[in-house]
Amino acid sequence: MRMLALLRKELADERQNLALFVPTLIVGFVAVLLPVLVAVIIPYVAGERLSDSSDFEVAVEMYRNQPATRGLDPEAAVQAYLFQFFAVMLVLIPVTAAMSIAAHSVVGEKQARSLEPLLVTPITTFELLGAKVLGAFVPSIILTAVYFVIYVLAAALFAHPGVAWVLFGPRTAGTVFILGPLAALAALQMAVCVSSRVNDARTAQQIGVLVILPIAGLLIGQLAGAIQLTVTFIAWITLGLLVINAGLMRVAITLFDRETILTRWR
Amino acid sequence: MSTQALTAQHLTRHFGDRVAVEDVSFELEPGRIFALLGPNGAGKTTTLRMLAGLIAPTSGSVRIGSEAMTPGAAPRLRERIGFLTEAPGLWDNLTVHDNLKVYAQLYRMRDAEKAVTEALALFEIADRSRDRTARLSKGLKQRVALARAIVHRPSIVLLDEPTAGLDPESARDVRELIVAMRSEGRAVLLCTHNLDEVERVADRVAVLRSRLVAIGTPTELRQRLFTSRLRIHVSQDAGSFADSLRASGVNDVRADGTWLSLSEGTLTTPQIVRMLVDAGAGIEAVERDEPSLEDVYLKLLNPDGASR
What are the extents of the domains in chain B?
A: 6-223, 228-290
Mind listing the pLDDT tens digit of every residue in chain A (266 residues)?
A: 889 999 999 999 999 888 889 989 999 999 999 999 998 899 889 888 887 777 777 777 777 777 767 778 888 888 888 898 888 889 889 988 988 888 888 888 888 888 889 989 998 888 888 999 999 999 999 999 999 999 999 999 998 888 888 888 888 888 888 888 998 898 888 888 888 777 777 777 777 677 778 888 887 887 777 777 788 888 898 999 999 999 998 888 888 778 777 877 76
Neighbours of B285 (CB within 10 A): 10
Q: Which of residues 90-109 of A touch B (CB under 8 A)?
A: none
Asked if residue B84 lies in contact with residue B156, where contact means CB atoms within 8 angstroms, the answer is no
ipTM over 0.90: no
Chain B residues touching A5 at Cβ < 8 A: 102, 105-106
Percent over 90 (pLDDT), chain B = 39
The pTM of this model reads 0.80
Q: Which residue on chain B is closest to A111 by alpha carbon?
A: B89
Q: Is B56 on the interface with A (CB under 8 A)?
A: yes
Instruction: Give the per-residue pLDDT at A196.
Output: 77
Q: Answer whether A225 touches B (CB < 8 Å).
A: no
- How far B298 CA lies from chain A's nearest CA (Å)? 30
Q: What is the dihedral of CA A52, A56, A59, A63, to 10 degrees?
A: 0
Q: Do B98 and A262 touch (CB under 8 A)?
A: no
Q: Is B241 an 8 Å CB contact of chain A? A: no
Say yes or no: A9 contacts chain B, CB-CB below 8 A: yes
Q: Which CATH architecture has domain B228-290?
A: 2-Layer Sandwich (3.30)
CA–CA min distance B289, chain A (Å): 43
B93 — contact with chain A (CB < 8 Å)? yes
| Interchain pair A117, B148: CB under 8 A | yes
CATH architecture of B6-223: 3-Layer(aba) Sandwich (3.40)
- Cβ density class A159-182: b for 16+ within 10 Å, e for less: bbebbbbbbeeebbebbbbbbbbb
Mutate to test the interface with B, among A120, A127, A260 (most CBs of B within 10 A): A120
Distance (Å, whole) CA B144 – CA B253: 53
Cα nearest neighbour of A113 on chain B: B89
Contact yes or no for B106 and A121 at CB 8 A: yes
A18 touches chain B (CB under 8 A): no
pLDDT of B306: 47
CB-based contact B52 A12, cutoff 8 Å? no
